[in-house]
C-alpha cells in the first residue's frame, strides 16, 4: 500500500494581512482577478462572507470563501497556487469550507464554475456538487458560460458519508485513492469571477 508523505498545512480564517499573498494567487489563477480592495471589503464589511487561507509553513498556498445566504453556503472564490496544485490542497480546502458551512448552519453548498473547467468540476464533483443550471456569458473576460453546481443537503446521510470518506482519505498516512488530488483546478480553477 502506498502512503502519501505528510503535507503540513494549516487552514485558518483569512485576515487583512493575508490579502497581498491571496492577491498573488488570484493574479496567477484568473484572467480577471479580484482587486485587493474587494477582499478587504469582504473581510471588513460583508457580514455574509467567511474566507479561509491554507498555509504551508509561512506561505499562503490557497484560499477560498463562502457567503452564507439564509441556509445556503455559496462558494465565492477558490484558488490554489500553481506550485501547490495536485497535492491535495484543494481537497483539504474544500473540506474545510464544507465544515465551515456546516458550522454556520448551511443546508447546501453552491457555486459557479467555468463550463469548460473540467478539472475544477471534477474536484467539486468529488464533494457531491452536481450541475443545476447555466449562467450564460457569466465571465467578463471571454463571455464563457458558468455552470451552477450544488450539493445535496449536507445533513443527508449519503452526503455526510461522502464528506466522512474524504476526511478519512485526507488523514495523514492514509493510502492514496479516492481523495487523490489529480482533479484539482488548473490555473483557471476559478469558482466565481
Question: Is 190 among the catalytic positions?
Answer: no
10-173: which CATH topology? Answer: Aminopeptidase (3.40.630)
Question: Is 138 among the catalytic positions?
Answer: no
The residues spanned by each domain of the chain are: 10-173
Q: Which residues of 63-84 are buried (b: 16+ CB within 10 A; e: fewer)?
A: bbbbbbeeebbbbbbbbbbeeb
Note the pLDDT tens digit of each residue in 124-145. Answer: 999 999 999 999 999 999 999 9
C-alpha cell at 96: 474545510
The catalytic residue among 26, 51, 63, 124 is 124
Other Cβ atoms closer than 10 A to 7: 14
Note the pLDDT tens digit of each residue in 22-55. Answer: 999 999 999 999 999 999 999 999 999 999 999 9
- At how many degrees (to 10) do helices 89-103 and 118-126 cross? 50
For the four alpha carbons of 164, 107, 122 and 12, in that order, the dihedral sign comes to: negative
| pTM of this structure | 0.86
The catalytic residue among 26, 42, 112, 190 is 112
Amino acid at each position: 500500500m502506498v502512503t502519501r508523505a505528510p503535507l503540513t498545512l494549516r487552514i485558518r480564517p483569512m485576515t487583512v494581512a493575508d490579502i497581498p499573498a491571496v492577491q498573488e494567487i488570484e493574479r496567477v489563477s484568473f484572467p480577471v482577478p479580484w482587486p485587493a480592495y474587494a477582499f478587504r471589503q469582504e473581510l471588513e464589511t460583508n457580514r455574509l462572507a467567511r474566507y479561509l487561507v491554507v498555509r504551508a509553513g509561512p506561505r499562503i498556498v490557497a484560499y477560498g470563501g463562502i457567503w452564507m445566504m439564509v441556509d445556503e453556503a455559496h462558494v465565492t472564490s477558490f484558488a490554489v497556487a500553481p506550485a501547490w496544485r495536485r497535492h491535495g490542497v484543494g481537497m483539504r480546502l474544500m473540506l474545510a469550507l464544507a465544515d465551515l458551512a456546516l458550522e454556520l448552519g448551511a443546508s447546501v453548498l453552491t457555486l459557479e464554475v467555468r463550463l469548460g473547467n473540467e478539472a475544477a468540476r471534477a474536484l467539486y464533483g468529488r464533494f457531491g456538487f452536481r450541475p443545476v443550471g447555466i449562467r450564460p456569458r457569466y465571465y467578463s473576460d471571454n463571455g464563457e458560460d458558468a455552470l451552477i453546481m450544488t450539493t445535496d443537503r449536507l445533513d443527508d446521510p449519503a452526503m455526510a458519508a461522502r464528506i466522512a470518506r474524504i476526511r478519512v482519505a485526507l488523514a495523514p498516512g492514509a493510502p492514496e485513492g479516492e481523495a487523490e488530488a489529480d482533479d484539482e483546478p488548473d490555473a483557471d480553477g476559478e469558482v466565481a469571477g
